[in-house]
Each structure stands twice: as structure tokens, then as C-alpha cells.
Structure 1
């Protein structure tokens, strides 16, 4: 299938061709015709599936080719609104759509926090067709009456699950109350279709079509997962050791907190690694500069929190390291989804101390696959990590303080003992599970839900 067969206009096809796009991704194949036909759409698509073009291409075509109602005596009202959870994602979507509309006139602007409101107000006064906004700052503009949403024809909620996780549901409902109820097309894109997402769709969408190209919580088969046990006090040393093995490899490192991200980036810089941190407390200029330097290769290690990393879109990123495991297993999928894209290979490495084992068990249950556990020579924990009475996984196993070994393998040079495995479930020869063993870690709230100011 080609983009021509999807019904896109010649100027858009020309822009796509110049950017090297010739074959639509599955989400684009399914979503674009439905959007062009005017249907509301509930789309399941994770980062890296091409979802921005899936909603952006038909949106641009609609804005560029459909007649616009002109109101005398006032600025042009926005005709389309895209809501995103973070500043980085808003900027990324804006840049992508500007490229797709290279040969069309679609005035647009971004609205997000962390920068002055003056330039945003000026852009709105000049008149735009498209507004790409984060909910918090858009509410500020609504309160100032510097934006009029009464002319919105198309509403797009991008990464709706993340917006709900970040506590934006009340803001989203306030914004939706300002939009026209009739003749509005609504597109909702989400990595998962949890019940709050479905409830939002039932409340604000009209007979939506549903497409899903990525089954829930799946990860690319080209990603290698590896766990390195380590004492918590030596995590930074082990991270430095792993990064120093090839300091040219671009690596995204995930930390749990904003403060921890800064400390880790400073430690790496002092140790000779070109590193930068990105999180919600950084200014917009700092965040954009860090992303730009990372994409350009000036910085080889980017330390990020979960929410701040949502806007990071880098092709062929070879490695992701979990310095801290996420406390919600689904976030592991989002994190490692930044490597192993489009058939490329990637590595997902996790540094796991004793206190992290409950999070590892949740991740293995979610993935339903074995994760290789490998000691790094010189960094073995002083006291062997106790996985509980079961290996990390969705089913409990009897016996031992360590994950069971598979068939013997040759030692890996320079990496200590042969790998063990965190198992996703019992093998047929493994005996009956014992009840009540291997406590499951409680589901914890996500960190920094209020940290990425929209």
C-alpha cells in the first residue's frame, strides 16, 4: 500500500516524498481513510508507530482544502486543536505537521507552559487554523480569554492515557466544554484502552470507529532485555562502567526523580561522559537544548524521567538503561519503546538492587517473557539478591533465593557468571507452584504526575 492509495492530496504526497516516506505504517493505513471520511476515531497506538502522521496528514488536508467560515471584525478562530501531555510532544507534533504541510498554508502555533504567554497571545491574535496545546497552559489562555475555541472542527487527544495519568482529566473536561458539540470530529490516540479512556470516549465522542495496531503491552522482538544485579550503593559505578565500554553509543537513562536525574547527569559529566538531564523542572529552553544536543550526538547520554521522556523521538536509538526501575510496569514498555524501532536492534538494560525486585517481578509478569539476569564482574551484590521464594514472574515457584538457571551456557567474556533468568511463568518440568509465596509488589502511583507542567 502507498500513501497515494490513502486519498491524500498531491502537495502532501510531495512533502512526504521529500522526507523519504513511501510506505504508510499499519496505524496510518487504518486511520487515515477513516479520518478523511469524517469519522470519530479511537486509536490504539504507541510511540514509534507513526501515529502523528496518522492523525496529522488527514488533518492538514482538511484544513487546507475545506472552506473556512470567515467572521468579520475579529481574528481567525482556530479550527483544529491537538492536546498533548508534555511540552516536548507538543513541539514534536508541531515540527512534524509543519513538515507535512510544507506546500500548503496551514497557520499554526503551540501553547505550553514554561515560557512567556506574550508570543502565544500574539500568535492567537494574528489568527491560526491549528493550535497544539498542553491542557494546563490552554486553561490559562481560556481564563484570560486570549483564545476562542468556539470554531474548533477537529479535536485530537494525543497520548490520552498519559494525560489522564498526569491528572489532566478535569482540565480536559473544562476544555471540551468550550468546544462546539455539533459537527466536531474527535480523534483519541492512546497506548492503552483502559476503562478511563473508554469512559472519556463514551462521554465526548460520537459513534467512534476503533483501530488498534499494537496489542497492549507488547514490545519489539528486536529488543534484548538484560538485568544486572547490583548493590544500590554501587549503581552509579556500574552505570559508569557500562557507559564507558563504548562512550560513543547514544544511551537514554531513566531515573525515578527530577533531583535524581540532575545528580546522575552531574556525576556522569564529572566522570567524563557527555550527559544532560531532562525533566519537568527544567526550563523549556534547557529541555529543547538537551534534546537537540542528544539528537545531534553532542550529548551521548540523556538522563530523563518518565514524563519528560514522552517527547523523545529518536530513530535507531541503540540502548535504554533503567537506572531506576519504574514503579508501574507499563512504564517499562513505554521506556524501552524508544529503542528497537522499525526492525532495528536495541538493548534494554536494568540495574536492579534488592529493593527493586518487586518492580522487576511486575514487569516480567506484564511482558510474559523471561528476562536474562547477568552479574557484571566486579559488581556482584555483596549479598545475593533474594527474589523471594519465586523467580520474578506471574507465577510463583518453589525453592531458593535466586532465579532458577536454564540449561548451562558458556560464560560471557568480561561479564562474570553465565546468565540467570527472571521467568515469566512456570515450565512444565518445574514442579507445582506453592501458594502464598513470592509477594507481589503493590501498584504504586506514578512519579512526577504534577512535574511536567503542561
Structure 2
């Protein structure tokens, strides 16, 4: 379906052409008409499917259609649309996308997030913004300061709501919502939906339209998933072998902890592979510098934690590696969703050792499929350590059956 078939203003359509977009993705085809019809939305779609344009374009159109403007002498920013995101990186990514969509209009978009000067943000907000992208904590800081008012808000988006809940933003979300007009359009977008997200949606959304692209909590079909069984003391050697022999130029590696990410990046650098760690302990300036270096190819390997990796959006990223499996199965879907984006193919590699057997079970339960393990010659695991395989396999089958039962009730 062509974007020209949507009732979008010419400046928006022209901007889309300048960005090289022509055909709308599935989530965009579903979301744009529903949002233009002023419906509340509960949407689930895999990462990389165009969710930002799916809600960004129709919101910009609604703002253009809205002729009611605050008096220019108003002392508070007349924010009419708010997009809440869990991390700084995602805030920057979403804001950049919104600015590009609205580049030929008179609409203004602002951004607030932690780790940088709040006074500089306050100065920009005082000039007035139509749409604001924000992380919950910093938004509350501005509300307490009186930097802006949300009394004129008409459109509210929760992007990656599951991650916001995982990061403990429930109280902040409730504090923000308490300052919003009750009459508004609310949209909740997420790559995965679980009980906590559904519970949140029931308190925020009014008779929402449910949009679902692909199987809930599933991985993109454009991603090849490989699981290499290897002993833990051979993981680093196998990882280095894969990167060097495969001539992998851009690799995103996931570690569970910040300290482990630092150590792995140091070991890779010492072995001659350009690598940097990427996590929440870095200053905002360092995070932006490292991410830009990775995007521009100056850094070959980025070793990231789950929280920091939200917002990493590189269409041509071909390889993602789970050096350690996540404790939360849903994070596996988010991790591998960093590759195979925008119609490109990707490879997701998991380095699996027997002590992570239960974590792999949970991932397989979530995906409702087995992830066949393979061995790489020279890095075969010690078979005497694989004694739990039979028990784990039987347990996984029972859990997958239980998961299918839950889905049938939704």
C-alpha cells in the first residue's frame, strides 16, 4: 500500500518521499487509519517494522488538522502530543524520526531525557513545542519545575511499554498520567505483550483497537537464529573465531551485566578486535560518541546490556550475539530484533552453555519453538556436562504447551 493512499497532508507525503519511503509496512497500514480516526490503540509488532512512522505520521497529521492554538504569549509550552519511551537512546531515535517526518511543516518537536542539562531543555521548552518525546523520569522533573504543561495534551503514546515496566517506571507513568486530561487519545505500542502490559493498558486505554503484526512475542522471519553449544570457558574463543573468520564488520553483543560488558569489550580489544562497551554507567556524551562510532563503522563490536541497547536502530546490522542469555525471555526477542530490520536479513547467534539450560527453555517456551543446537568443530562442548538435556527437553515441552494454552485465552 502506497503512503499516497493515506489522507496525509502534502508536506508529510513529500517528506516521506525525501526519506525514500514509498510502501507502508503492515503495522503502518493498520495503525495510520485507526489513529486518524481518533481510536485508542493497543499494538504489538516486532521491532524494525516501522512502528515509529505508524504512530508518528498520523499524530503529525492530527496536529496539522487542529486549528486550536494557544496564544503565543502563553508562558508554558503548549504540548499537544507526548511520546513516552524507556531510554535516552530510543528518545533520540524517535525524536529524529519525528523531526524528519515533519521537516516540511511548521510543527515543532522537543525532547527531554536524563543525563544532560535540564536548564538547556527548559530553555527550549519555553519556546513552545507541539510534540514532545520524553523519558518518564526527566519529564516529571520538568513538570515539577513548571517547565511545561500537559493540560492541552490530545495524543499520548507509550512506546516499548513492556520495557518501561521492566525498568520500574510504573510509578512514574502513573504520576505523569495523573497530570493529563482525561479526554485524550492513548496509544500503546510494544514488541511483546505480557500480563503486566495488558494490565497497564486496561487502566489507560478506552475501548482500544487491537493491532497485531505477526505472532505476539515472536521473532522476525528475516532473522536466522543459531545456537552454538559450547563450554563457558570456550565462549570467548568461539566468539573471536566467529567474528574473525566470518569477517563480521558490525556486531552487537549482549551481556547481562555492565561489568561483564566492560570486561568482554576489553578482551576483544586486546585480541585486535575494535570493541566498546555500551551501558548505563557511561555518561550521555560517551554513549552518543560510542553509538555514533558503531553506526559509522569506526567500532566493529558493541558490547551492550539490555537496557542500554533499546534505541539502537541500524537497518544494515547483520549480526547479533547473545554472549549470555537474558534472565527475562522477552528480552531475547528485543535483542535479536536489533537485526533483520526494515526488510533486511539478519543472523542472531546464541552462545549456549549447559548452566543456561533453563533460560533457553524459557526462550523456547516464549517462541513456542525449539532452537536446534549445533556444534562448531574445535569448540565442541564436554558431553559429560550435558546430563540435564533430557529432563530439560521434557520440561520445555510441558511449558510450551502451557504457553499455548495461555495464548488461547487472550
Shift in Å, 1:73: 4.5
Alignment of 1:160-175 (within 5 A): 160-175=161-176
Instruction: Report the 3-state secondary structure (helix = DSSP H, G, I; strand = E; otherwise coil) of the residue aligned with 1:376.
Output: coil
Question: In structure 2, what is the equivalent of residue 377 of structure 1?
Answer: 377
Question: In structure 2, what is the equivalent of residue 312 of structure 1?
Answer: 312
What is the distance in 1 between the residues matched to 2:229 and 2:207? Answer: 50
Residues 28-56 of structure 1: per-residue CA shift (max 9 Å, x gap): 00110111111111111231111000100
What is the distance in 2 between the residues matched to 1:391 and 1:342? Answer: 39
Question: In structure 1, what is the equivalent of residue 124 of structure 2?
Answer: 123
What is the distance in 2 between the residues matched to 1:303 and 1:116? Answer: 27
Contact persistence 2:193–2:217 (CA under 8 A): no
Question: In structure 2, what is the equivalent of residue 98 of structure 1?
Answer: 99
Please give the root-mean-square deviation of Cα atoms over the aligned residues, in Å: 2.0
Is 1:186 the equivalent of 2:186? yes
What is the distance in 2 between the residues matched to 1:387 and 1:43? Answer: 42
Instruction: Report the 3-state secondary structure (helix = DSSP H, G, I; strand = E; otherwise coil) of the residue aligned with 2:306.
Output: coil
Instruction: Report the 3-state secondary structure (helix = DSSP H, G, I; strand = E; otherwise coil) of the residue aligned with 1:70.
Output: coil
Residues 86-123 of structure 1: per-residue CA shift (max 9 Å, x gap): 00000000000111111002212111111111111101
Contact persistence 2:50–2:342 (CA under 8 A): no
Alignment of 1:338-357 (within 5 A): 338-357=338-357
Shift in Å, 1:268: 1.0
What is the distance in 2 between the residues matched to 1:294 and 1:387? Answer: 40
Contact persistence 1:8–1:58 (CA under 8 A): yes
Instruction: Report the 3-state secondary structure (helix = DSSP H, G, I; strand = E; otherwise coil) of the residue aligned with 2:333.
Output: helix
Instruction: Report the 3-state secondary structure (helix = DSSP H, G, I; strand = E; otherwise coil) of the residue aligned with 1:225.
Output: strand
TM-score (norm 2): 0.92
What is the distance in 1 between the residues matched to 2:155 and 2:288? Answer: 28
Q: How many residues align structurally?
A: 398
TM-score (norm 1): 0.83
Report which of the two structures shows the higher radius of gyration computed on alpha carbons.
1
What is the distance in 2 between the residues matched to 1:137 and 1:73? Answer: 22
What is the distance in 2 between the residues matched to 1:139 and 1:106? Answer: 24
Question: In structure 1, what is the equivalent of residue 358 of structure 2?
Answer: 358
Question: In structure 2, what is the equivalent of residue 46 of structure 1?
Answer: 46
Instruction: Report the 3-state secondary structure (helix = DSSP H, G, I; strand = E; otherwise coil) of the residue aligned with 1:217.
Output: coil
Shift in Å, 1:209: 1.6
More displaced stretch, 41-50 vs 339-348: 339-348
What is the distance in 1 between the residues matched to 2:122 and 2:194? Answer: 36
Q: Cα gap change, 1:301/1:343 in structure 2, threshold over 3 Å: closer, same or farther?
A: same
Instruction: Provide structure 2 residue ranges, at least 5 long, that are not aligned to the other structure.
Output: 400-410
More displaced stretch, 170-179 vs 208-217: 208-217
Shift in Å, 1:172: 0.4
Q: Cα gap change, 1:101/1:364 in structure 2, threshold over 3 Å: closer, same or farther?
A: same
Residues 226-275 of structure 1: per-residue CA shift (max 9 Å, x gap): 22222222322221122111344311101010111111111111211111
What is the distance in 2 between the residues matched to 1:389 and 1:201? Answer: 39
Q: Cα gap change, 1:250/1:73 in structure 2, threshold over 3 Å: closer, same or farther?
A: closer
Shift in Å, 1:342: 4.2
Instruction: Report the 3-state secondary structure (helix = DSSP H, G, I; strand = E; otherwise coil) of the residue aligned with 1:126.
Output: coil
Instruction: Report the 3-state secondary structure (helix = DSSP H, G, I; strand = E; otherwise coil) of the residue aligned with 2:355.
Output: helix
Question: In structure 1, what is the equivalent of residue 404 of structure 2?
Answer: none
More displaced stretch, 65-74 vs 100-109: 65-74
Instruction: Report the 3-state secondary structure (helix = DSSP H, G, I; strand = E; otherwise coil) of the residue aligned with 1:92.
Output: helix
